[in-house]
Amino acid sequence: MICSDLLEAYMATIKEGFHCATDSDGRLCVVTPYLYPDHDFIEVFVKDKGETVVVSDLGETLRHLDTLGMDVVNTPKLKYAAERIAAGLQVSIQSGVIVRRGRAAEVGKLVFEVLSAIKLVSSLVYGNRAYEPVGFDEEVQEFVKSNGIDVERRVSVPGVSGSEYTVSFKLHAPGGGALVQTISPRTKGGVKSQVNSAFRMWSDIDPIGPFQDKKFCLVNDESLPFRAEDLTLLGRVSRVHRWTERQGFVEDLKRVA
């Protein structure tokens, strides 16, 4: 193998991981092969303004950090760190959005700079002592396995809008299976964000297809309390179960799947 072969193989692999579509506002949505710390795919958005373009994350990076218990916007130390990281790449953070403006002829360079900023800013989570990326999901997987249910972890599922979502678990079964999203924020501030994110995801995924009544939210109420209105909201788009009542969850999962 020579260097050119290696680089060609790597670039081909990377290229296959990129997908681009146009949204209703005419903005280009680019799904990349790169991942946030919670393993969701990083997306960048490009707005064509003729001779110039605006490349941004539409606020997704800071929203991902918020769901993991890190409020960057309202925490001075984190805000300063994120802004310094972005500035080092000639990128700015405006109202929670990582953004870069420039000439259309340089769009490739602009996308690269915004992607670099997204990856570096999102890596701030690894300095957060409250960050435990897979602990609860591992516990859930062990529990369902002990009840004779085999599930697949972190499955990518498309929504009607064209967005891709990473669902915590997918159960394959003769009856068609089921989808399960775990909600286990580490701080009270993360409850609302994770609930809203799950509501958006379930509203977009399979509203009239085979999974329409086979979408579950499993909330970790052992670590934090959940408000009744949050559970009611989730109940509009999914079947909702508490981890403290996990036997009822696994029985419903078997019955529906």
Cα distance between the two ends of the chain: 48
Indicate if 64 and 143 belong to the same structural domain: no
pLDDT reported for residue 1: 83
Position of tokens 């984190």? Answer: 78
CB 168 within 8 A of CB 153: yes
Residue 251 and residue 16: Cα distance in Å, rounded?
A: 40
Domain boundary among 70, 104, 127: 127
Pairing mode, if any, of strands 97-103 and 215-219? unpaired
Mean pLDDT of 159-184: 87
Where does the pLDDT of residue 208 fall: very low under 50, low under 70, confident under 90, or very high at 90 and above?
low
Indicate if 107 and 204 belong to the same structural domain: no
Domain boundary among 66, 99, 127: 127
Quote the tokens at residue 137.
């999901």
CB 170 within 8 A of CB 155: yes
Indicate if 118 and 140 belong to the same structural domain: no
Quote the tokens at residue 209.
């297809």
CATH of the domain at 80: 3.30.1460
Task: Give the structural domain span for 84.
Answer: 3-127
| Nearest Cα to Cα of residue 200 among 220, 183, 221, 224 | 183
Position of tokens 């700015």? Answer: 92
pLDDT reported for residue 222: 82
Indicate if 92 and 151 belong to the same structural domain: no
Q: Which residues are within 8 A (CB) of 6 and not within 5 positions of it... i.e. 6 or more apart?
A: none
Domains held by the chain: number: 2
Indicate if 116 and 153 belong to the same structural domain: no
Indicate if 122 and 161 belong to the same structural domain: no
CATH of the domain at 179: 3.40.1350.10
Indicate if 117 and 24 belong to the same structural domain: yes
pLDDT reported for residue 167: 93
CB 198 within 8 A of CB 241: no
Domain boundary among 127, 157, 185: 127
pLDDT reported for residue 235: 93
